[in-house]
Amino acid sequence: MGDHQAKSETASLIEHRAYARVGLLGNPSDVYFGRTISFSLGNFWATVYLQPSDDLVIQPHPIHDLVVFKSLDHLVNRLDSEGYYGGVRLLMAICKVFLDYCKENEIQLEARNFTLSYDTNIPRQTGLSGSSAIVCAALSCLLDFYKVRHLIKVEVRPGLVLSAEKQLGIVAGLQDRVAQVYGGLVYMEFDKEHMDTLGHGIYTPMDVSLLPPLHLVYAENPSDSGKVHSTVRQRWLNGDEFIISSMTEVANIALEGRTALLEKDYTKLAALMNRNFDFRRSMFGDDALGALNIEMVEVARRVGAASKFTGSGGAVVVFCPDGPSQVKLLKDACQKAGFKLEPIQVVPSLLNEVDLQTLSK
């Protein structure tokens, strides 16, 4: 009896993974009605576990949600390295957004409770979308637990993830959440007309085999990546011509990049990656980007590689067009500068049969 019960409990455990993401081209134009190409990064992920239970429990993580400390020093050191916020608030926020959405859309949910817990190995403050990975994995668990995956379209889900983060004051765009919901390599268009009419962008999955070998460079102790959009956003809203024309150029980089990938024109891809970063730098300025972040890009460029931010700073995606000899030079340069370097693993599409049936034809 006890044995059978243990087996059925394990069988009812729902587990979902969502991966870090790399903005390859076009970012940050996703929040300016632009276009982007992003992909799921297999090197890092967040996992959320859902287990049926009598009460609804959001379980704190033993490291990221620590509330018991050895001393005052321990508490302060922990805040300095990890900040004030763990994942509990993210799990709570997606529960609220999910329930609100189901009520608004008259989706009936069975009266059942669960325990949510999570784990993550996505490095903090690296612009790899660690927060949204937790939210995205939790949403997948809720869809399966309540058996409503077929009722909530794939295109809608990135917006739900973003809504949960907005509840917490996290400023971001849809791009990261699209990459994490879809998995694989995705070309995205955020045209204002589409957004106003559909409530989401147009997302086109691409074959991951179109990507050349890429590398990730990141710092062990990065600076905060959340300050970057500040003045640019206001200037864009104010109608600043330089910002508006630059954002249009950045969006066009993704459009050109899509063709370059489809044609496997990697010389063009390298040029587009570099141009993408140069536009970002001219718009945001060196103070907003931070010296450490700029140095990560420059380390790669000094060995002739193409490089740009994966997000808004903290990590850099690098392409070495000259192959292994150039990778070796990059490895040595990163070691000298104190940066971590690893080959990028790309995750194929995460969509299952039920998801594919919900995609707009």
* Structure confidence at residue 360 (pLDDT): 65
- 176 classed as catalytic: yes
* Structure confidence at residue 10 (pLDDT): 55
Q: CA 222 to CA 225: how far, in whole Å?
A: 8
Query: Given CA atoms 29, 167, 310, 181 in this order, what sign does their dihedral have?
Result: negative
Task: Identify whether the C-beta of residue 312 lies closer than 8 Å to the C-beta of residue 28.
Answer: yes
* Structure confidence at residue 137 (pLDDT): 97
Task: Identify whether the C-beta of residue 61 lies closer than 8 Å to the C-beta of residue 116.
Answer: no
Q: What does the buried/exposed string (b/e) look like for 109-133 if buried means 16 or more CB atoms within 10 Å of the residue's CB? A: eeeeebbbbbbbebbbbbbbbbbbb
Pick the catalytic residue from 176, 207, 240, 322.
176
Q: Is 124 helix (H, G, I), strand (E, B) or coil?
A: coil
Q: CA 214 to CA 43: how far, in whole Å?
A: 12
CATH topology of domain 210-343: Alpha-Beta Plaits (3.30.70)
* Dihedral pair phi/psi, residue 120, rounded to 5°: -150, 145
pTM: 0.90
Q: Is 353 exposed, middle or buried (0-12, 13-18, 19+ CB in 10 A)?
A: exposed
* Structure confidence at residue 82 (pLDDT): 73
Q: CA 224 to CA 226: how far, in whole Å?
A: 6
Task: Identify whether the C-beta of residue 108 lies closer than 8 Å to the C-beta of residue 180.
Answer: no
* Structure confidence at residue 224 (pLDDT): 46
Per-residue pLDDT 10s for the chain (361 aa) are 444 444 445 569 999 999 999 999 999 999 899 999 999 999 999 999 999 999 999 999 888 888 888 999 988 887 877 777 788 999 999 999 999 999 999 999 999 999 999 999 998 878 888 899 999 999 999 999 999 999 999 999 999 999 999 998 887 889 999 999 999 999 999 999 989 998 899 999 999 999 999 999 998 765 544 444 468 989 999 999 999 999 999 999 999 999 999 999 999 999 999 999 999 999 999 988 989 999 999 999 999 999 999 988 889 999 999 999 999 999 999 999 999 999 999 999 988 888 888 886 5
Render 261-313 in DSSP notation, one character per residue: HHTT-HHHHHHHHHHHHHHHHHHH-HHHH-HHHHHHHHHHHHTT-EEEESSSS
Residues with Cβ within 8 Å of residue 304, at least 6 apart in sequence:
320, 321, 322, 326, 329
Determine whether domain 2-209+347-358 maps to CATH 3.30.230.10: yes
Q: CA 64 to CA 27: how far, in whole Å?
A: 29
Virtual CA dihedral for 345, 132, 74, 68, nearest 10 degrees? -120
Q: Is 109 helix (H, G, I), strand (E, B) or coil?
A: coil
Provide the residue ranges of all domains of the chain, joining segments of one domain with +: 2-209+347-358, 210-343
Q: How far is CA 150 from CA 40, 140, 166, 211, 248, in A?
A: 23, 12, 25, 31, 36
Tokens of 211: 């990507």
* Structure confidence at residue 221 (pLDDT): 67
